[in-house]
A = this chain, B = another copy of it.
């Protein structure tokens, strides 16, 4: 830590590392909590400058608009804590004002229905990430729970081009392997896997193969590390060190600058919500997704990451496994911020 030594050599180095870790810009690129003033206050207390929030799992257009409306009411009620984010600069503003910029996104293309023109409309309303499929086959791509994955569809090719044009980021977190590889290939702009972990660390169906992660990051895409217990080695008992070592292994293979956090935090949600995520309106037989009949609900979070005040633990954990302060800052927020700067604007107006 040469920077600490230069600026404050009289302080013990270990204390300094903690202070600096705590002051990292923090972006969490995926949450779906049961929103409340309490959670917004925790974001603020935790120094979280931006959160990408899911507002659609199976909702179609009009329902999704109602979800935008619900967020407008949160923004109107708690302007001292949160505001809607549209650009990277909104993250900087949030950081400087001690507030949290909330970016909205979808885990399924259901909000665009069968209408490619809705992509630009939804982007105008502030949608910044959209998964091309959620577990199942969509009009655009295949989900990771399907038996067969024929790849990106005819409509999918058009949707990718339109998302590229307007600046709506393609997210393949819940998509199947071939569809994901094709989306990376077809997209003219970097894409994201907002919330998943390397399959090599924990071989869950939702975690991603080396092939996918290599292809994603070679194309300058981003991986958000998930803290959802089903995605973690040893589930709820996963240790902070194991989690941070998984990130360190990924950094060696793919470069630390392509890694960030997408916690998938579903704080305060009743179990009926995970049932909605998994079954929507498509199934008459209960699908348990990553759970099981005997373990159908939300699993408990690891004790070192329970809510938005715990990002400091991760920053410290990353330092402890050997990341430099610059790398920690990148993973905690600066990497997503750099991605936001380029990804959310229309094609041709990127800054870099």
Contact = CB atoms under 8 A, between A and B. Distances in A.
Interface of A: 61-62, 65-66, 68-70, 72-73, 115, 117-118, 120-121, 124-126
A255 B249 CA distance: 73
Shortest beta-carbon contacts, A-B, top 3:
A69-B117, A72-B120, A124-B125
Contacts of A61: 62, 65
Nearest to A75: B120
Contact of A68 (B68, B73, B121, B126): B121
Contacts of A62: 61-62
A85 to B, nearest CB: 14
Contacts of A118: 65, 69
Nearest to A116: B69
Contacts of A121: 65, 68-69, 72, 125
Contacts of A68: 121
Main DSSP-derived SS at the A contact region: helix
A68 B122 CA distance: 11
Contacts of A117: 66, 69-70, 72-73
A66 B73 CA distance: 25
A49 B324 CA distance: 53
Contacts of A115: 66, 69
A68 B124 CA distance: 11
A70 B73 CA distance: 29
A73 B66 CA distance: 25
Nearest to A66: B117
A117 B65 CA distance: 9
A123 to B, nearest CB: 10
17 contacts: A61-B62, A65-B118, A65-B121, A68-B121, A69-B115, A69-B117, A69-B118, A69-B121, A70-B117, A72-B120, A72-B121, A73-B117, A121-B125, A124-B124, A124-B125, A124-B126, A125-B125
A61 B64 CA distance: 13
Given A61-B62, A62-B61, A62-B62, A69 B125 contact: no
Which of A66, A70, A124, A126 has most B Cβ within 10 Å?
A: A124
A68 B121 CA distance: 8
A69 B162 CA distance: 13
Nearest to A86: B124
A168 to B, nearest CB: 13
Nearest to A84: B124
A115 B117 CA distance: 23
A115 B121 CA distance: 19
A115 B72 CA distance: 13
Given A65-B121, A66-B115, A72-B120, 13 more contacts: A61-B65, A62-B62, A65-B118, A66-B117, A68-B121, A69-B115, A69-B117, A69-B118, A69-B121, A72-B121, A121-B125, A124-B124, A124-B125
Contacts of A126: 124
